[in-house]
């Protein structure tokens, strides 16, 4: 039982390059989330998927796209990376059975640097 896994762990991109961050969970959770973490700003929600087949924008969606490939996998794509997207990216998942639906489980993170 690996929980939430993310690949890659580290990535360096040049401005304008594209890449996809992968996330998978093996807890049979319905909801999945992508956050970015920047110093002094906590975690900010980029996109989320409340259930398989749906995705919605979070607080900071500009410059990103997501795909909920199936119930297990939720990917985040940067089409044209910018230095402002240098950050640590976390994927999380949660079940939806009351009252535990809000408890989120986090992956180890991806450290992305855009030069």
Partner 1 sequence: AQSVTQPDIHITVSEGASLELRCNYSYGATPYLFWYVQSPGQGLQLLLKYFSGDTLVQGIKGFEAEFKRSQSSFNLRKPSVHWSDAAEYFCAVGERADYKLSFGAGTTVTVRA
Residue closer to partner 1 by CB (options 85, 93) is: 93
Q: Based on CB atoms, which residue is closest to partner 1, 36 or 114? A: 36
Name, in order, each residue with C-beta under 8 angstroms of 39's C-beta and a sequence gap of 6 or more.
Answer: none
Which CB atom, from 63 or from 101, has the smaller least distance to partner 1? 101
CB of 84 to partner 1, least distance (A): 18
Terminal C-alpha separation, the chain: 36
Binding site for partner 1 (CB under 8 A): 4, 31, 33, 35, 40-45, 48, 50, 58, 90, 92, 94, 96, 98-99, 101-109
CB of 16 to partner 1, least distance (A): 28
> What burial class does residue 103 get, using C-beta atoms within 10 Å of its C-beta: 0-12 exposed, 13-18 middle, 19+ buried?
exposed
For partner 1, the closer CB: 19 or 43? 43
Distance in angstroms (rounded) separating the CA atoms of residues 25 and 72? 5
CA angle 108, 5, 27 (to 5 degrees): 120
The nearest distance, CB 56 to partner 1, in angstroms, is 9
Residue 69 C-beta: closest distance to partner 1, Å: 20
Nearest to 64 by CA among 30, 114, 100, 104: 114
């Amino acid at each position: 039982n690996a929980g939430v896994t993310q690949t890659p762990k580290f990535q360096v991109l040049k401005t304008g390059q594209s890449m996809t961050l992968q996330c998978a969970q093996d807890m049979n959770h319905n909801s999945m989330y992508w956050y970015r973490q920047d110093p002094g700003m906590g975690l900010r929600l980029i996109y989320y998927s409340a259930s398989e087949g749906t995705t919605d924008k979070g607080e900071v969606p500009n410059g990103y796209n997501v795909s909920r490939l199936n119930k297990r996998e939720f990917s985040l794509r940067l089409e044209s990376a910018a230095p402002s997207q240098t950050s640590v990216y976390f994927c999380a998942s949660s079940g939806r059975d009351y009252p535990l639906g809000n408890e989120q489980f986090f992956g180890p993170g991806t450290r992305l640097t855009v030069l």
